[in-house]
Amino acid sequence: MKQRTLTNTYSFEGKGLHTGVYSHMLIKPAPAGSGIRFVRTDLGVEIPALAENVGSTARCTLLARGDASVSTVEHLMSAFAGLGVDNALVEIDNGEVPILDGSARAYAEAIMADGLQEQDVERVYATIEKEIEIKDEKTGSRILITPADAPSIDVTVDFGSRVLGVQSAHWDESVDYASQIAPCRTFCFFHEVQYLAAQGLVKGGDVDNAIVVVEHPVDDATLAQMAKLFNQPLLSVTPQGYLSNLKLNFPDECGRHKLLDLIGDIRLAGAYLKAHIDAYKPGHTLNTNAAKAVQNLI
């Protein structure tokens, strides 16, 4: 397999989910062997998209070098990984990647419309010779990476939620990432949104970019407060237990979004992984720790 890069330059802009800051972002073709690199154009600092540069995993994946950082990189990284982009330059003029609709759909649609250009250098693969297991004893979360001839990922999501239940999602090279994984949006629980809003977070949250799971009964006054937060005149709770700000693309969209995140985070290993990944209750901390473990083998 040869390395691939973008065919054209693509422009995106919008606010960040957590900071609310408005950013302009260009994703550009890059030379073979350069990998994925973020450039803070306002600071003149380049940050390679590698696990060693992960600075925080608090509700998103943040890359940092010195005082410069770029947060919420996981959806864009997922699109690059899922579509097979080896090399790209990402120029951004602020500290958080635009959340757009909360998924990787916009990136996938733009890139797929033009296709990729092949480069005259072999793709870099990380081959796993023995099992790697990353655990979080407190949460019971784990990622098990086992040797395989081709990449594949299985994710199981269990929040102990009556609404979500236990959701499973799968990806391998036969699954069409663009249609089956990329459209799956980020999600959170209603009570989390209340708490995060009180902490001054989710400043970029609005009606279009997050699935909100309503686990417990909510009164009309609280729904009115949430409608104000989401710039929505009226909100209700659907019979399935979701806030009525949007409709699900898939019944298991939340599980698929966790898979989307993992695909993006594990790409921070700096190479495509020839292995099977079995993830139970994954999150950004666990994902990026797994990417670091793989990067150390390369």
The CA–CA distances, whole Å, from 4 to 9, 121, 161 equal 14, 9, 41
Catalytic residue among 75, 257, 276, 284: 284
Sort residue 281 into left (φ over 0), alpha (ψ -120 to 50) or beta: left
From CA 13, how far away is CA 20, in angstroms rounded?
Answer: 12
Which ranges constitute the DSSP H helices of the chain? Answer: 74-83, 105-114, 177-180, 190-198, 220-229, 253-266, 284-295
For residues 141 and 164, what is the distance between their CA atoms, to the nearest angstrom?
17
284 in active site: yes
* Distance (Å, whole) CA 282 – CA 43: 33
What b/e sequence results for 19-43 when a residue is b if at least 16 CB atoms lie within 10 Å of its CB, and e otherwise? bbeebebbbbbbebebbbbbbbeeb
- Give the integer Cα–Cα distance in Å for 283 and 281: 7
CA–CA dist 270, 291 (Å, integer):
8
Do 24 and 76 contact (CB within 8 A), yes or no? no
Q: Provide the sign of the torsion angle of the four alpha carbons 262, 268, 269, 275, taken in this order.
A: positive
Catalytic annotation, residues: 284
